């Protein structure tokens, strides 16, 4: 092989080595960029996760503060009098309100952090038809409430036969007296109206129709004539129809009633309001609210029981 041929081969080999080196260098740079990019991405995800947890913690803190406020209002209201009506302080809704850093404990995620926003409402749980009132004790049915549920279903355009299914479900969650012996319940207690979805033969549309007008309280309770809707009132007063109850509620907007006898005078039909069914005071209230803080939005509903000078939380549901 001539000297020129040798030089030519050597040049080709050197060019191939240089090309390979360039490719390796490019691969190393690309791999490094991918690794660094992945590290930055994981760091960003970790930071965002910490921010979300902080925002959620602050939202829970605001939720507890709002619940404490509701308890104070309900306790103060009880000291003012035994009658509960929609003109009292507890019934006023809290419209969407921006909270400054003092309320959020001084927490600030970054310079672009937005103020927390709170909206809420305390409502009378005894304004609704309590499904547990269907049980009169010892496995017996409260006829007035069963008939009332039938009437309510009819007004809502649903089958009255659902009243029997619901009544049996409630009785299954109550102790029974058989031949002088108390037998335990065969099913767990209802907690919310949505629990009726597991009742065979009861369709979801019927349950959804009942939810605005019914509730499940821990024990049988009275309906507050000062706060109940026309549908609930008409269902539990056999002598009146829905239009009569609607006219009564329209008159009630200008006043409230200290006694059932006083309330009966504002009905067109002057019905008798049974003290075994109605009252002018309440012990159970629902506190519902929405809190938005940064990327977190928390909705909650809490059932409160007011007993003497104490307010107890019976359950809380978050969405």
303: CATH: 3.30.1300.30
Using the 3D structure, point to which of 210, 233, 256 is the last residue of a domain.
Answer: 210
Distance between alpha carbon 43 and the CA centroid of its chain, in Å? 35
Is pLDDT above 80 for 203?
A: yes
Evaluate whether residue 236 is within a structural domain: no
Same domain, 135 and 123: no
DSSP β-bridge partners for residue 117:
98, 292
pLDDT at position 183, please? Answer: 83
Q: Are residues 106 and 139 in the same domain?
A: no
What is the number of domains present in the chain?
3
Token pair recorded at residue 32: 């490094």
Contact 216, 231 (CB under 8 A): no
Residue with tokens 């009942």: 210
User: Is residue 10 located within the same domain as residue 80?
Assistant: no
Residues 81 and 18 both lie in one domain:
no
Give me the phi and psi of 12, to 5 degrees please: -65, -40
Domain membership of residue 217 (yes or no) is no
What pLDDT is stored for residue 295 in this prediction?
74
Lowest mean pLDDT among 101-115, 128-142, 225-239: 101-115
Radius of gyration of the chain (CA): 33
**Residue 263 placed within a domain:** no
Q: What is the Cα–Cα distance from 141 to 315, expressed in whole angstroms?
A: 26
Residue 178 lies in a domain: yes
Q: Does a structural domain hold residue 176?
A: yes
**Cβ neighbours of residue 127 closer than 8 Å, sequence gap 6 or more:** 223, 224, 227, 228, 229, 232, 282
Q: Which residue has the higher pLDDT, 299 or 7?
A: 299
**Does residue 122 register a pLDDT over 90?**
yes
> What is the C-alpha separation between 304 and 283, in angstroms, rounded?
8
> Alpha carbon of 293 to those of 49, 115, 157, 164, 302: distances in Å?
15, 7, 41, 45, 20
pLDDT of residue 52: 60
Residue 146 and residue 65: Cα distance in Å, rounded? 40
Is pTM, for the whole model, over 0.85? no
**Residues 154, 107 share a domain:** no
Q: Is 146 part of any domain?
A: yes
Stretch 95-101: mean pLDDT = 76
Q: What is the pLDDT of residue 109?
A: 46
Has residue 218 been placed in a domain?
A: no
Last residue of a domain, one of 210, 235, 250: 210
Low-confidence winner among 53-62, 70-79, 147-156, 305-314 (lowest mean pLDDT): 53-62
Lowest mean pLDDT among 9-23, 37-51, 68-82, 193-207: 37-51
Q: Are residues 138 and 190 in the same domain?
A: yes
- On whether residue 197 sits in a domain, the answer given is yes
Residue 99's domain spans which residues?
62-127+283-318
pLDDT at 104 > cutoff 60: no
**Do residue 118 and residue 154 come from a single domain?**
no
Give residue 47's pLDDT: 56
Task: Lowest mean pLDDT of 16-20, 110-114, 174-178, name the range.
Answer: 110-114
């Amino acid at each position: 092989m001539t000297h020129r041929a040798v030089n030519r081969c050597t040049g080709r080999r050197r060019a191939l080595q240089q090309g390979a080196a360039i490719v390796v260098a490019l691969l190393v740079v690309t791999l490094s960029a991918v690794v660094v990019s992945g590290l930055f991405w994981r760091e960003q995800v970790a930071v965002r996760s910490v921010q979300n947890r902080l925002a959620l913690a602050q939202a829970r803190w605001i939720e507890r503060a709002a619940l404490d406020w509701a308890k104070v209002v309900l306790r103060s209201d009880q000291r003012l009098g035994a009658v509960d009506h929609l003109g009292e302080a507890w019934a006023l809704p809290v419209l969407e309100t921006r909270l400054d850093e003092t309320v959020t404990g001084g927490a600030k995620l970054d310079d672009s952090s937005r103020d927390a926003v709170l909206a809420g409402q305390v409502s009378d749980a005894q304004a609704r038809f309590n499904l547990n009132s269907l049980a009169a004790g010892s496995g017996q049915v409260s006829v007035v409430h069963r008939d009332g549920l039938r009437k309510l279903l009819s007004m809502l355009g649903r089958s009255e036969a659902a009243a029997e299914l619901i009544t049996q479900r409630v009785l299954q969650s109550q102790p029974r007296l058989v031949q002088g012996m108390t037998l335990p319940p065969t099913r767990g207690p209802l907690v919310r109206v949505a629990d009726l979805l597991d009742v065979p033969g009861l369709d979801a549309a019927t349950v959804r129709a009942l939810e605005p007008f019914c509730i499940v309280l821990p024990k049988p309770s009275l309906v507050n004539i000062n706060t109940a809707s026309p549908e609930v009132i008409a269902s539990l007063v056999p002598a009146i129809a829905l239009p009569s109850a609607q006219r009564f509620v329209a008159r009630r907007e200008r006043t409230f009633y200290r006694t059932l006898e006083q309330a009966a005078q504002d009905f067109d039909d002057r019905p008798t309001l049974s003290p075994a069914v109605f009252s002018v005071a309440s012990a159970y209230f629902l506190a519902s609210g929405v809190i938005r803080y940064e990327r977190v939005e928390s909705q909650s509903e809490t059932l409160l029981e007011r007993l003497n000078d104490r307010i107890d939380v019976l359950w809380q549901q978050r969405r």
